[in-house]
Amino acid sequence: MQWADPVYLLATISAGAVLCALAIDLVFGEPPRQVHPVVWMGKYLQLIGLKVSRSVSAKPHPAVEFYSGMGGWFIGAALVCVVAIGLTIVFSWLPYLLHVVVLGAVLKTLLSWRMLRDEVIAVEQALSESIDAGRQRVSWLVSRNVDNLDESEIRQAAISTLAENLNDSVVAPLFWFAVAGLPGAAIYRFANTADAMWGYIGERHGRDWTWAGKWAARADDVLSWVPARITALLIMVSVGDYRWHRLAVNACLTPSPNSGWPMGAMALVQNIQLGKAGVYILNPQGRLPNSVDIALALNKSKNVIVLLMLIGACIGLWSSSHL
């Protein structure tokens, strides 16, 4: 039907942009900081964060801090959305192939697989030098205290971060791109960055975020809810593991409503424990990670990337056949 042609065209362009974005990421990695949208988001959040949070020595004003944080979040999200909508309109004037490439290049800046992969690889390389080097390197990936982590705990932290950020940095931006185009991916990336910078209980860098960061943390929880579960399913399906009940049981062990899903899936498919001392242990009957498990986790994650590319290719071929 003629009225459906624009729908199929949009689906074809979007699928092509996803493939292009993933290819650009694998080949080139991150763009320069000066033109990286996530860096700009971070600068905004850092600046506004000083206004909406309070010094740890100041008197608490929970309501003021909460609504200030919420307002700062909405202003930032609105700015990001307006820019993304503007770019979407401009790109729509471009020839088909150029539209796909340019949209894919911009979408790439809102996701990151290669950098995540390289940072996780660097943890195992550092561990081969010394445990202190491993602790220092994994501290780049996690916010927890790493001073007393042993080799197994360092690997658990690295693999947990890999699984969690496979969702945050790849699957979730692509999910929201599929749902709401470039504005959807951009707002998700802003929300995830805001959670990383503001979503803390208590003190961080001399500021108290208990109330100022609460909205940012909850917004990220809501936007990550569906993608986190999709990520877990992709991890398990990619290796033919269908123990959904055990996945659900493990996913509920973490304080976060979302991170336990991809981490639990990774723990199950490798039959390893993933934990945080005094907080949770996923797949407690599994073995402790050893020197090959980071490489295995990376291979499992690569399988998810391949699945995403196959899904994108299938959608693109299907939609283009209807044009």
pLDDT in tens, 31-57: 999 999 999 999 999 999 999 999 988
Q: Of 99, 125, 75, give the one whose Cα is nearest residue 20.
A: 99
Structure tokens at 120: 């996780």
Q: Does position 12 have pLDDT exceeding 80, yes or no?
A: yes
High-pLDDT (> 70) share of the chain, %: 99
The arithmetic mean of pLDDT across residues 140-156, rounded, is 92
pLDDT, position 4 = 52
Q: Does position 99 have pLDDT exceeding 50, yes or no?
A: yes
Instruction: Look up residue 111 and give its DSSP letter.
Output: -
pLDDT, position 36 = 97
High-pLDDT (> 90) share of the chain, %: 89
Structure tokens at 309: 């590319």
pLDDT, position 133 = 96
Instruction: State the Cα–Cα distance between residues 287 and 159, nearest whole angstrom.
Output: 14
Rounded mean pLDDT of the chain?
Answer: 95
Global confidence as pTM: 0.95
Q: Is 239 helix (H, G, I), strand (E, B) or coil?
A: coil
pLDDT-based confidence at residue 88 (cuts at 50, 70, 90): very high
Q: Of 157, 176, 179, give the one whose Cα is nearest residue 167.
A: 176
- 60, 144 in Cβ contact below 8 A? no
pLDDT, position 270 = 97
Q: What is the pLDDT of residues 236-258, one digit of tens each?
A: 999 999 999 999 999 999 999 99
Q: Does position 7 have pLDDT exceeding 90, yes or no?
A: no
